[in-house]
Amino acid sequence: MKTNRDALLLIAFRLFLKNGYDQTRMQDLVAASGLSKGAFHHYFPRKADLLNACIEHFFGRFLPDMDPSAHQHFEDLVLDGARQYAQLIDELTSLDIPLPAYQRFVWSLLPEHSEAFIERQRTTEDRLTQLAEQDLAQRRLISTNTARTLAIQAMALTEGLGVLWAANSPKKKATPRAFFEQSCKAWLNDVS
């Protein structure tokens, strides 16, 4: 089997999920890859480089596009974020990544090790807030909550749907995308 960058990311991600980042040694990563130490270090000279690449590959690329013109309304960005997060859940499932392990990774490791990812979350929250302010002013949204509260609720809802999906996915007949979209649309109906 030819080992490429994406294969290394999957190998590393599985080891990080299984053993934890701090307990996974570079020797473990090199051994699991089947590459020589030199070949492995050609791709990732440091474990932190590998972690950052895993974070971008398995999380960052699923954050909604923050181009201000990409989403015109709060609902658009909420639904786009839900679709992209559902796509991540679907991809993790297809790779046999245990969703509870993924969630532990997100909640424990990302805040500690990835300022760039945290910044992207802040940017998402800020953009949601801007769109909520605009839609509240235009009476497209009617809520007693502030725009910032609505933005935080939308982000928490999406992450919470991931937890619910992980807990019940063997029992679900719907796809993650359908489940996420239906749930977000129900919440949006309640706030608009």
Average pLDDT value over all residues in the chain: 86
Which carries the bigger pLDDT value, residue 167 or residue 129? 129
| Residue 12 pLDDT greater than 90, yes or no | yes
For 68-93, the pLDDT digits (tens) are 678 999 999 999 999 988 888 888 88
For 172, residues 6+ apart whose C-beta sits below 8 A from its C-beta are: 165, 179
Q: Among residues 9, 83, 80, which one has the least CA distance to residue 43?
A: 9
Give the right CATH number for 59-191 from 3.40.1700, 1.10.357, 1.10.287, 1.10.10: 1.10.357
Please answer whether residues 128 and 78 qualify as being in contact, where contact means their C-beta atoms are separated by less than 8 angstroms.
yes
| Confidence band for 109, pLDDT divided at 50, 70 and 90 | low
CATH superfamily membership of 5-54 = Homeodomain-like (1.10.10.60)
Lowest-confidence segment of 65-69, 127-131, 164-168 by average pLDDT: 65-69
Compute, in degrees rounded to 10, the torsion defined by CA atoms 135, 136, 137, 142: 120
| Confidence band for 115, pLDDT divided at 50, 70 and 90 | confident
| Residue 171 pLDDT greater than 60, yes or no | no
| Confidence band for 112, pLDDT divided at 50, 70 and 90 | low
Domain boundaries for CATH 1.10.10.60 within the chain: 5-54
For 26-62, the pLDDT digits (tens) are 999 999 999 999 999 999 999 989 988 888 888 777 7
Res 69: pLDDT: 78
Res 45: pLDDT: 93
- Stretch 111-138: mean pLDDT, rounded? 86
| Residue 11 pLDDT greater than 70, yes or no | yes
Res 91: pLDDT: 86
